[in-house]
Amino acid sequence: MAFIAEQQAKGRAVESICRVLREQGCQVAARTYREWKSPSRPVAARTVTDARVLDAVRDAAWATGPDGVRRLAPEGLYGRRKMTAHLRRTALPQASRGAVDRAMRALELSGVRRGKAARTTVPGKDGTRAGDLLNRNFTAPAPNRVWVSDFTYVRTWAGFAYVAFVVDVFAQKIVAWHAATTKTTDLVMTPLRMAIWQRSREDRAVTPGELISHSDAGSQYTALRFTEHLALEGIAPSIGTVGDAYDNALMESVIGLFNEPSWIWQRL
């Protein structure tokens, strides 16, 4: 700054001096020099606001664990829109999108982007399937009365993996789950067998004729092997309509929480 002041005293323009300095690798703006030269000049309101937003974003994006080490928090994976909504809801109700954008760029933060989705629900070609016994009524009077099933995909470094779930509607608990690299009938049959075994192990064996197994219209759930296994166990099949997520809304909600990147990325 003293060099710029010395050159300005010799009659050279501040902008020209700063341009030459930038060409030499010294990044100094004319505005920065003028603010330095006039310390009594009040700080711009935007500068103060940006500083507050920067501190708020930093506090939200990183958290100190019990071991005293600062790690990226789930909020650190938010994009600009979600981070703006989070700050307005928690710390700075007047935070603007522009200020949050500048703060995230300064902190080198960027939200997790979803890649191309994999299609998981592929209806059977013959179109033969059981009816919908729930009609979007996801309630049960007791355990082992209604189970809902579905599967989703998980992006890994080696490609796609598929995870199938079985949820008891009464407790809204994941009774069993299974992961595989292919979405064959075994992907959905394995967690069903695991759920039946787990309930027997807990002295809550499934009573034939009382349980309804609800799923979407995917070909895995309409496969002959799967429906025959349900019949052998005395479980009534129930399948929603094609292309209607509301017919299996409870399971879609569980899968949505499972696919939430805030906890998946923490465990990579």
Res. 199 pLDDT band, cuts 50 70 90: very high
Rounded average pLDDT over 50-65: 91
- Tell me the pLDDT tens digit for each residue of 22-43: 888 888 888 888 877 776 667 7
Task: Give exposure, 148-159, as e/b (b: 16+ Cβ within 10 Å).
Answer: bbbbbbeeeeee
Res 62 pLDDT > 60? yes
Higher pLDDT, residue 35 or 213: 213
- Cβ atoms of 248 and 148 closer than 8 Å: yes
| Whether residue 162 sits in one domain with residue 96 | no
Beta bridge partners of 247: none
Same domain (yes/no): 153, 96:
no
Give the pLDDT confidence of 87-134 residue by residue, as tens digits: 999 989 999 999 999 999 999 888 776 555 555 555 555 556 788 888
- 17 and 70 fall within a common domain: yes
How many alpha carbons lie under 13 Å from residue 11 in its C-beta half-sphere?
Answer: 0
Instruction: Report the interhelical angle of 97-106 vs 45-61 (nearest 10°).
Output: 60
Would 241 be classed as within a structural domain?
yes
- Return the percentage of the chain with pLDDT > 70, whole number: 88
Query: By residue range, what is the domain housing residue 88?
Result: 2-106
In angstroms, the CA 8 to CA 26 distance is 17
pLDDT digits (tens, 9 = 90+) for 77-87: 888 999 999 99
Q: Indicate the DSSP class of residue 111.
A: P
* pLDDT band, residue 9 (cuts 50/70/90): confident
- Distance between CA atoms of residues 51 and 29, nearest Å: 19
Same domain (yes/no): 55, 156? no
> Which residues are registered as beta bridge partners of 212?
146, 236
Which of 51, 82, 106 finishes a domain?
106
- Residue 112 belongs to some domain of the structure: no
What pLDDT is recorded for position 49? Answer: 92
Position 215 pLDDT exceeds 50: yes
Q: Are 151 and 262 part of one and the same domain?
A: yes
Output 236 or 114, whichever has higher pLDDT: 236
Q: Which pLDDT score, from 0 to 100, does residue 176 have?
A: 95
Three-state SS string over 205-243 comes to CCCCCCCEEEECCEHHHHCHHHHHHHHHHCCEEEECCCC
Predicted pLDDT of residue 117: 55
Q: What is the pLDDT of residue 207?
A: 92
131 belongs to a structural domain: no
Secondary structure class of 5 (helix, strand, coil) = helix
Q: Is residue 126 part of a domain?
A: no
Number of domains in the chain: 2
Quick check: is 21 in a domain?
A: yes
Same structural domain, 100 and 150: no
Looking at the fold, whether 156 and 263 belong to one and the same domain comes out as yes
In a domain, 136, yes or no: no
In DSSP terms, 165 is beta-bridged to 150, 177
pLDDT (average), residues 175-195: 93
Instruction: Report helix angle 30-37 to 14-23, nearest 10.
Output: 120
Point out the least confidently predicted range of 167-171, 212-216, 259-263: 259-263
159 and 213: one domain? yes
Q: Band of the pLDDT at 4, cuts 50, 70, 90?
A: confident
Share of the chain above pLDDT 90, in %: 42
Q: What is the rounded CA–CA span in Å between residue 140 and residue 172?
A: 10
263 in the same domain as 157: yes
User: Mean pLDDT of all residues in the chain?
Assistant: 85
167 shares its domain with 247? yes
pLDDT at 258 over 90: no
CATH of the domain at 171: 3.30.420.10
| Number of other residues whose CB lies within 10 A of the CB of residue 131 | 12
Q: Residue 140: what pLDDT?
A: 92
Q: Are residues 161 and 62 in the same domain?
A: no
Q: Give mean pLDDT, residues 8-22.
A: 88
Cβ-Cβ contacts under 8 Å for 83 (sequence gap 6 or more): 57, 60, 75, 100, 104, 109, 111
Q: Would 63 be classed as within a structural domain?
A: yes
